[in-house]
């Protein structure tokens, strides 16, 4: 992985903390809208983390693959697949 591992870990730990908080909110039968807002916040952290990882992948792995046609085609196919998943 080419993204800064410490930044990625910090963001993932933040999301984990948010999810733990959401679980507590559900267990405590808290207000639905408050729970939904917390879910949206956790999703936002995960989405921004994914974006950071994908940007680093494009900047390093994909750029590097252009030196070899076979590698380039594989990396482009990977990007197409992840874009398809993101846009579902």
Q: What is the pLDDT of residue 48?
A: 95
Q: Which pLDDT score, from 0 to 100, does residue 27 have? A: 98
pLDDT at 13 over 90: yes
**Residue with structure tokens 């998943």?**
85
Chain-wide mean pLDDT for the chain?
Answer: 94
What is the pLDDT at residue 1? 80
The domain spans of the chain are: 5-86
pLDDT tens-place string over residues 15-33: 999 999 999 999 999 999 9
More confident residue, 46 or 63: 46
DSSP 3: S
21, 48, 52, 61, 87 from 37: Cα distances, Å: 12, 17, 23, 35, 22
Which has the closest alpha carbon to 78: 57, 56, 50? 57
5-86: CATH topology: Methane Monooxygenase Hydroxylase; Chain G, domain 1 (1.20.58)
């Amino acid at each position: 992985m080419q993204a800064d591992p410490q930044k990625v870990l910090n963001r993932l730990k933040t999301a984990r903390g948010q999810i733990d908080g959401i679980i507590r909110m559900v267990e405590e039968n808290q207000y639905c809208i408050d729970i939904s807002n917390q879910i949206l916040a956790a999703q936002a952290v995960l989405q921004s983390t994914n974006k950071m990882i994908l940007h680093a992948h494009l900047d390093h792995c994909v750029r590097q693959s252009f030196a070899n046609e076979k590698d380039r085609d594989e990396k482009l196919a990977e990007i197409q697949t992840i874009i398809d998943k993101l846009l579902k």
